[in-house]
Amino acid sequence: MDQSGATEARESRPNWTNHSLVSRLGRNSHAAPDGPGQVKIRTENLSFYYGKVQALTDVTLDILEHRVTALIGPSGCGKSTFLRCLNRMNDIIENTHAEGKILMDGADVNSPDTDVVELRRKVGMVFQKPNPFPKSIFENVAYGLRINGIAKSELADVVECSLRQAALWDEVRDKLKTPGTSLSGGQQQRLCIARALAVQPEVLLMDEPSSALDPIATAKIEDLIQQLKEHYTIVIVTHNMQQAARVSDYTGFFYLGELIEEGPTEQLFTTPGKKQTEDYITGRFG
């Protein structure tokens, strides 16, 4: 690697020292801006195909930095597909392709030059069913850090900070060596959030993160989302409209692979502009 390449590689790596320090101070290097958010991710006429089956049609959407964007709509309408396009998780499914554009901070996500591993570090994901690794609580969070080359002396600090950010530290600090799978469902989901946060993402994608949880665990995840948006850009798929109304700043309504309507959450739920949106939010279908 030439010298400029080496510098670039170093600069693109997370700064772990900052990570642990800012977290201890309770702040982050990218605090929420005042006023309207900046566009973090923009999709332009995004279409997506599984073989010949078209799952998304011409979706154009701006996702704003340090805001929570909820994606709602009936099952099978392309919400998860859209989410997985944003960090190219769909790449691992054979015989699929995307058309249109996805720009993150202005850079083309689908460009052959995109470093997909780095993209997935920046755009983390939390799934519907908590999926801790069959390892200790500590190792679940440490795993991605080790892969990203964190110094041994920093590891314990960053694991602690990540667990704190995921509002789990107080519940697990005395049992970090026990398996992640021994935790309750809600705790496992917060462990998966800590794991995603450990590598310092900029965007967090959440695919129905509380649909497998009881109401108390769900409330904890919703509180956590409110705290996390100060530091991260969050996109959440939810089939629960009350949840979308509670946690999100912006909502997009998907139907049959199209983004029918999007806008500020309150506006979309109180004065929807399209009849299909109104029919859906008033429970006439879905």
Positions that interact with ligand ADP (CB under 6 A): 50, 53, 55, 73, 75-81, 93
Total residue count of the chain as it appears in this document: 286
Rounded CA-CA distance 74/41 in Å is 24
Rounded CA-CA distance 218/223 in Å is 9
Minimum CB separation of residue 78 from ligand ADP in Å reads: 4
Rounded CA-CA distance 160/271 in Å is 44
**Cα 172 to the chain's mean position, in Å?**
23
Closer residue to ligand ADP in complex, CB, 43/187: 43
Minimum CB separation of residue 182 from ligand ADP in Å reads: 30
- Output the CA–CA distances (angstroms, integers) from residue 145 to 149, 172, 211, in the order listed: 6, 19, 28
Minimum CB separation of residue 126 from ligand ADP in Å reads: 15
Rounded CA-CA distance 130/148 in Å is 23
Closer residue to ligand ADP in complex, CB, 160/262: 262
Closer residue to ligand ADP in complex, CB, 76/264: 76
Closer residue to ligand ADP in complex, CB, 40/79: 79
Minimum CB separation of residue 85 from ligand ADP in Å reads: 10
